[in-house]
Amino acid sequence: MTTSVLDDENFHIKELNRIFLSCAKNGATHLDASGLQDLCIQLNLSSFADVILERILSGCTIVDFTIFKERFLQLLPDIISVTTIAENLENNAEKNLSKLGIEPHGFLTRCEARILCKNTPELNSLGVFEIDELFDQADTNHMGHITLAQFLTQYYMQKQLSEEVNFITETFVSSVNLFEALDPSNTGTIRCQELLEHWRACGISIEQGLYVLKLFGQPLEGTVNAISLSSNLEQQLGNLAAAPTASIIIRVALLSLHAFIDHIRCSLKEAELRAEHFHKQYQQANQRHVLLIEELEQNQLSVEQAYEQRFRSSDERYRTKISQIEERFSQEKKDLLTELEKAEEELARFRKNESSYRTRLQLLERQCTRITEEAKELSEAMQQLEQMNRHLRSELNKALQPRTMEETQPTMMMRHRVELLIAHNKRLREKIEELISNGKKRNGHLNTVEPLYSHWTSMFRLEILALKRRREGKPIDTLSEMESEPESIFMRSRKRRMLKVKERKRRHDRIARVIENSSSNEWVANARRDKERASDVGLNKKLKQALMEDQQDSMIEQIKEQHRKEIAALMHSANKTLADALTDQQRQITLRQLLFFEKERRQFQIKLVTERNILERKFAEEKMKMIDRLQATFCEEFECELSRLKTVMSPPVSDDSRLFAHACEQDNGESSAIDDMKSIPTHGSTQSFSIVKPLKFSVLTEEFRKNGDSLFNRNNDIDMLNIEKTSPLPKTFCKNIWMVHGKCSHYEMIRIKLKQIHAAVAGDNNIVESGFEDVISSADSTAEEHAHLKNEIKKLSSRLCLAREKITELRAFFAKCSSGCMESFESWRTGRPADNCLATGNTYIRRKTSRDSTNILWIEQLKAENVLLSARLSESKELVKMLVREYSDQLTRTSRLGRFIRSIYSIDSDQL
């Protein structure tokens, strides 16, 4: 929103000017600082009064409305954004206080202010000391409590001050980008090669440029940070500007600064040119705006005038339509009589259909009974097959049981081999028994040898016992337990009973005494030698015996393993031959069963397909019959309508007496029709009507075209129903002008409406061939058949509705034509002018109603009969719907039965 868009005629600008002048003193047109403060209070901008005063006054003491408007509209977007942020923060704070159970519009303590800052996302960055400082600044009276608005104002002031301080303290960041010419998209980075070329164009060599980049820590290849480089150059300029000698860095910085200044000057010139261009465009837009407003006003005036004219014409048209509706009322009564006749005909037809549907239901029930009998037969067949299956399974189980194998050549060979193995095994067992008996004999011979431990010393015996304990994994216990086992450690025939302590001590003392009482040391040495020799001989014997036993055990194990492998191979071959024979037998049985079930399934599928095709053909034939009946009824309706029109529109005559006689006959015909309607019975019995033979629609239209010229005369070309006829005033006892001409004025309209009815009924002249023959030929799926039939019925119903609408329009038009003819006849008979046709028609109707006072009672009676017939018609429709529903339910049941039988066969095939 700018001043270029808002002019002085705007409503908001006018309101702002009014408030501005109300704040002025002594009727002045300008405001000072106090007046602007009052204006900010009235505009609810008191929190931004300082900013508004600073921006709008800008060093002046007073300001008028035009300058105020321009500066205020420039400042308004910033104020709106700040106020929205402040309002959002205040709303969030109030919501959090209400959630915490603190009154939002009350006073806050120091603790409550800390809780609020902790639970508010915008204030949770404040520390404890900052919150206390804001609280102390807001609490000027030192009362210990403040409001929420006071706390938030101090927060905004502190935030604005911190932003200003941060802006001032950032002295090391460059305020401008000296290389903006090389970075038009303001990315902050430039390529090193472009920078060196720029400096070379300014008069700095590449070596000097690389030296500067290296000195400031910038990369010598790739991209360079232009902002950091600019800040470094500005810092060097600030540090070395006062130096007596200027270095290369200062020269580079100055040249870059000059280039940047030139770039800014060029951009300013371009901005000025653009501003001038925009100002010119703005002036042109204002001119266009004024022109558009003028055009809109003119268009609005023209639209209002057009609407007034339309309103007047519509008022006149509706008045004429009301009069036409009053005239049509009598015609509608006659139409009710014809509709009653048609309703009775439809009721008779529906009853015929009911009888036909009942016969069909009987046929369907017979078919259902036949299908149930077939299902019972199939179930019996299934039971027989199940019995056969049980018998086959029992035979298979018998076949799987072990039986004596036939004496064949391989079995004889295997039996001979088994006998050989048994004999060999027997011989091996005998050898094993001999070896075991030899081992026992050797062990008995060794037991007769005198043990060597009787000549052992006490220390040697203890060491032997320790070795034995270590091998057996037993701990070494007391001395008494060690001395209780003086037998040899290499061979132990049996475990001796443990001796008592006294007996062991006595034995120990005896042995020690024998050793002490030995005669000489030589005897001791000889005894030791003998002991060593005897121990060597015993060790050699024991080693040989152990080796012999190990060899015998290994041989026995090898023989056993070989026997096991041979027996396993024999069993595997026998089992394999038996399994192959059983599988062959089972395969033959299953093949026979599958062939039998396949034959049965094919026969059942053929039966199902034939029954389904018969049902589908019958259904399609019934649909075709229904369509033919619809066409016949429509042709009957059209013929009745055409005959009625022929009776209504009498042929032209050249004699006045014949015309008068025709009018009299018409009156007599109306009275006779009313008498006939009185004689109609109201009970529910059906009546026999004369059925007109249905003709083709094209033949009827051709007859109408041939005889139409003799029935109607045309005065002028009429395109609408409510066009007035302009004819001179007829004289008394003279012919009417519209009867003299060759054709009637309504001929073309009636011809057009008949063509529309022909197009609605005939369509593309292939109603029967539209898709029902395809239904019979392609009756594979009931879903596709139902969808196709539904589409065809929808098409025929739409055509029938359209034809009915056209017929009703044609009836209305003929009613208008007949009323016009009656009016012209009355004007001719009474000698009144033709312009007063409506008045004469109304007087004629009043005279007729007054003359026949009993017509009203007859009409009421006809209305009551119409209600009764409509009720009977609705009942017959419901009956037909019920029959159709039952027929569809019967079809679904038969389809379910077929699906069930198919599922039975599919399950049997899966099991096989």
Q: For residue 735, is pLDDT > 50?
A: no
Least confident of 144-148, 291-295, 369-373, 525-529: 525-529
Question: Rounded distance, CA 662 to CA 648, Å?
Answer: 11
Q: Which of 774-778, 809-813, 836-840 has the lowest mean pLDDT?
A: 774-778
Q: What percent of the chain has pLDDT over 70?
A: 59
Q: How confident is the model at residue 251 (pLDDT cuts 50, 70, 90)?
A: low
For residue 821, what pLDDT is reported?
Answer: 53
- Which one has a higher pLDDT value, 678 or 87? 87
Distance in angstroms (rounded) separating the CA atoms of residues 69 and 65: 6
* The two three-digit tokens of residue 605, written as one number: 């599928």
Q: Are 674 and 855 in contact (CB under 8 A)?
A: yes
Q: Tell me the three state secondary structure of residue 170.
A: coil
For 11-169, CATH gives 1.10.238
Question: Residue 64's beta-bridge partner residues?
Answer: 30
Alpha carbon distance 305, 293 (integer Å): 18
Determine the average pLDDT of the residues in 875-882.
73
Which tops the pLDDT comparison, 456 or 620?
620
Q: Give the chain's length.
A: 912
**Given this model, what pLDDT does residue 444 score?**
58
* CB-CB contact of 421 with 564 (8 Å): no
Query: For the residues 301-327, what does the mean pLDDT come to?
Result: 87
pLDDT computed for residue 191 by the predictor: 85
Residue 29: φ, ψ to 5°: -105, 15
User: In this structure, are residues 63 and 56 in contact, taking their beta carbons and an 8 Å threshold?
Assistant: yes
- pLDDT by residue (tens digit) across 745-801? 566 677 777 777 767 666 544 444 334 334 333 334 455 666 666 777 777 777 777
Amino acid at 851: R
Q: What is the pLDDT of residue 362?
A: 84
pLDDT at 450 over 60: no
Structure-block tokens of residue 318 = 């509706």
What's the confidence (pLDDT) of residue 812?
A: 72
- What per-residue confidence (pLDDT) applies to 270? 82
pLDDT band at 426 (very low <50, low <70, confident <90, very high): confident
**27 against 138, higher pLDDT:** 138
Q: Are strands 223-225 and 30-31 parallel, antiparallel or unpaired?
A: unpaired
Percent helix, strand, coil in the chain (nearest 5)? 75, 0, 20
Q: Which range, 131-145, 702-716, 752-766, has the best average confidence (pLDDT)?
A: 131-145
Q: What's the pTM?
A: 0.20
Q: Place 35 in a pLDDT band, splitting at 50, 70 and 90.
A: confident
Tokens representing residue 763 in the block: 């369509």
Q: Where residue 544 falls among pLDDT bands split at 50, 70, 90?
A: low
Q: What is the pLDDT of residue 729?
A: 40
pLDDT digits (tens, 9 = 90+) for 190-218: 888 888 888 888 888 888 888 888 888 88
Percent of the chain residues past pLDDT 90, beyond the cut:
0
CA-closest candidate to residue 701, choices 777, 623, 620, 759: 759
Of 341-350, 570-579, 847-856, least confident by mean pLDDT is 847-856
Confidence tier at 4 by pLDDT (50, 70, 90): very low
Contact in structure between 237 and 158 (CB atoms under 8 Å): no
Tell me the Ramachandran region of residue 525: left when phi exceeds 0, alpha when psi lies from -120 to 50, beta otherwise.
Answer: alpha
